[in-house]
Structure 1
């Protein structure tokens, strides 16, 4: 009798907690005014989202704690038109920072581990003139967008820098720094990242 009652209480508590979690996610989703957003949205705690009106997110998006994602519309006297586009079935772990003044795309079915940095811009150039300006006062410059295609797996501690495309099905190994395009179906590692393996499908072998 007591055992049955205890089980029912535990079951009820789990139901209430799950219901609260779903309501909180829905409230967070409504509070963050994205340009567009799909179904099944989950975001962990302590996030920072700058200018969500420039962000499009697909279905089944899940991100854990301390996400920092920023679409920068204005810096000093410069005005930008940023676009962040995230596809369907994207899973992101803890402590990921994405910064955009140009365009960042993450395709469908991508998996991002923790402590990842993705940026399509730099603070200033490497000119003598910019060296006379404090780094935090230098103008923001984008050499090009960051495009991450479908089914990409990005490992722990990776940095992806401006003007880079990562092809479908590729894997970026932990702590790599991606400064140039990575073709489809490759494993890349190192600083700067280089191809260490090509993934061959059954049809190609």
Structure 2
């Protein structure tokens, strides 16, 4: 069933509050002006620092911004963190350059498990629910992961560069309005099982469920659920082979 949120994105971010208040809510949620000052201070001095020095600075000071951060976490330069108190990082997480972790205000969260690797310029856009990535999963560069009702990726998955897991869409019924100004729609949470290999430039629409031990070939568009132990390809993606668990090499 399609869930429709009556407000457009523009209507959600606008309101009666002033520009400064809007900025504070977007960056630190319900934190006050002192929290925003600390956020700006850490970002100004720590975020752009390159190399191992920057990694060590961020390992020292980013725990003040994040809800939880594990041991041996590496965050490289020029990453953007919004509402960091709703972000949880496990042990030995690696976040490469210019990654955006954007959690909209509310009960929303981004949770990265142990040994997760996030490539350059990946964008997390958590407008609702929880984006959860399991242990040992690797997300290639320039990917985009969205969530309106939830986005769960299992353990030991591989997501190729330039892929997109769509968290929501827009209604298109009003021909007098630009699509971005029409209500937000979502077909449900996106769920991906364990040991899934997603190729490059793959798009998975919201509400799709992918089983475990699945291979999705590059340049595919996934519109429907995919069962366990199969390979899919195409636009739209279709099953091209199936394997038993016993026959699959892990």
Q: Shorter-normalised TM-score: what interval?
A: 0.7 to 0.9
Q: Which moved more, 1:147-156 or 1:41-50?
A: 41-50
Instruction: Say if 1:121 and 1:141, in contact at 8 Å, map to a contact too.
Output: yes
**Is it true that 1:155 corresponds to 2:194 in the alignment?**
no
Larger radius of gyration: 1
Q: 1:21 to 1:41 in 2, by over 3 A?
A: farther
Deviation at 1:20, TM superposition (A): 3.1
Whether the 8 Å contact between 1:25 and 1:41 is mirrored in structure 2 is: no
Out of 110, 116, 121, which is 2:163 matched to? 116
- For structure 2, list consecutive stretches of 5 or more residues without a partner in the other structure: 1-49, 66-80
SS state at 1:20 partner: helix
Counterpart of 1:42? Answer: 94
Unpaired runs of 5+ in structure 1?
1-16, 73-80
Give the TM-score of the pair, scaled to structure 2. Answer: 0.65
Taking the TM superposition and a 5 Å limit, the aligned residue runs for 1:69-88 are: 69-72=124-127, 81-88=128-135
Residue 66 (str. 1) matches residue 99 (str. 2): no
8 Å contact from structure 1 (residues 149, 167) kept in 2:
yes
Number of positions where the alignment pairs a residue of Structure 1 with one of Structure 2: 177
Residue number in structure 1 paired with 2:144: 97
- 169, 188, 196: which one aligns with 2:213: 169
Correspondence for 1:26: 59
Partner in structure 1 of residue 25 of structure 2: none
Cα displacement (A) at 1:21: 6.1
Q: TM-score, length-normalised on structure 1?
A: 0.78
